[in-house]
């Protein structure tokens, strides 16, 4: 006999890309009833004005974001700008599961938060990347998510880079003091705000780097993850570029091989790390990840090779920044925290062409 539970979920920041994607996933989740949908400047307007693709919810009216509106739900998803979640979350009781899609509660080091975000640190919550290999792979982050009432959802670029390189770190095959990550990122990763450099007339036919030279806010989060995996020290050169696609991340991460490591050992480490993971798939040899293959799915596709001339491992990861990179990670973590099957309500198949 299959037991069912009804979980009432509120989504704050429902007019944005991340909030809209959370609602898309929750609308087909068999155990979820969608409660309040809230926004800030667009409060009072119909959700369908901002998320016209969500036909089943289009007639819902956006309420103002506030603790009074969010209380009384089993789960609250905060898809708010960085720095805005902590104040709202602090007003919600410990009986509600709060999932923060922003960065407010991801970092352990308060000094790193202040350096990269320029404000006071709001504290650290359990981290919502279930596949993260802890202690060189002896545990996984999902082991720490069961029953929690606060979850910090990872950054999308962070997820792509971490999933790409962590098997080599956990197995001790790569040197973590010489990591290089270059990412192609879809425009939805930059948010929904109307800014000149995000207009189609500026972006179509062009690729443009941003946050160059060690300034991207995801850098300390990636380094933190790899230390949790088992690295003694991490030095990362991280360069993202916006490319003309709506969604998706293609992350290429390279690391110097530890002397004496054989190429056959490298692939085996990646395959073993993800053999039982429902959402992270190492592709057959010779097949490379594409962002198109992950569109709309909570999957991350990974491939690894050894550049023997350079003595480096090359790991390539593709994922949908709005699904596995954000909303899917939130729902996946919600499922674990509530004791539901981890894959409930989450699509494995992409949309093509």
C-alpha 161: how far from chain center: 10
Catalytic residue (one of 84, 156, 229, 280): 156
Query: HEC states along 104-164?
Result: CCCCCCHHHHHHHHCCCCCCCCCECCCCCEECCCCEEHHHHCCCCCEEECCCHHHHHHHHH
Question: What tokens does 191 get?
Answer: 């948010």
Q: Is the dihedral of CA 253, 254, 257, 261 positive or negative?
A: positive
Burial of 48 (0-12, 13-18, 19+ CB in 10 A): middle
Interatomic CA distance for residues 314 and 255, integer angstroms:
7
- Is residue 214 within 8 A of residue 151, CB to CB? The reply is no
Q: Name 104's Cβ contacts closer than 8 Å, sequence gap at least 6.
A: 82, 83, 84, 85, 86, 89, 122, 152
Active site residue 101: no
Which residues form the catalytic set? 156
């Amino acid at each position: 006999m299959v037991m069912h539970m009804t979980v009432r979920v509120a989504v704050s920041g429902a007019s944005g890309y991340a909030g809209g994607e959370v609602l898309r996933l929750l609308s087909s989740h068999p155990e979820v009833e969608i409660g309040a949908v809230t926004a800030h400047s667009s409060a009072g307007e119909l959700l369908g004005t901002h998320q016209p693709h969500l036909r089943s919810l289009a007639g819902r009216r956006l309420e103002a974001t506030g603790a009074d509106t969010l209380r009384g739900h089993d789960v609250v998803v905060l898809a708010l700008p960085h720095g805005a979640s902590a104040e709202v979350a602090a007003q919600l009781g410990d009986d509600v599961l709060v999932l923060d899609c922003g960065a407010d509660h991801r970092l352990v080091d308060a000094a790193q938060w202040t350096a990269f975000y320029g404000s006071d640190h709001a504290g650290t919550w359990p981290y919502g990347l279930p596949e993260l290999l802890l202690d060189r792979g002896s545990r996984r982050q999902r082991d720490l998510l069961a029953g929690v009432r606060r979850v910090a959802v990872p950054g999308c670029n962070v997820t792509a880079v971490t999933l790409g390189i962590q098997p080599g770190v956990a197995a001790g095959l790569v040197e973590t003091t010489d990591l290089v990550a270059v990412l192609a990122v879809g425009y939805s990763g930059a948010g929904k705000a109307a800014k000149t450099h995000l207009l189609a007339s500026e972006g179509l036919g062009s690729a443009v780097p941003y946050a160059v030279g060690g300034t991207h806010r995801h850098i300390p989060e990636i380094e933190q993850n790899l230390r949790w995996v088992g690295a003694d020290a991490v030095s990362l050169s991280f360069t993202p570029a916006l490319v003309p696609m709506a969604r998706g991340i293609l992350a290429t991460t390279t690391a110097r091989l530890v002397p004496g490591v054989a190429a056959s050992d490298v692939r085996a480490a990646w395959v073993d790390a993800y053999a039982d993971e429902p959402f992270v798939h190492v592709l057959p040899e010779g097949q490379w990840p594409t962002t198109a293959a992950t569109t709309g799915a909570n999957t991350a596709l990974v491939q690894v090779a050894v550049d023997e001339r350079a003595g480096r491992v090359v790991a390539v990861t593709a994922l949908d920044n709005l699904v596995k990179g954000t909303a899917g990670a939130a729902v996946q973590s919600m499922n674990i925290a509530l004791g539901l099957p981890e894959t409930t309500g989450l699509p494995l198949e992409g949309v093509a062409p």
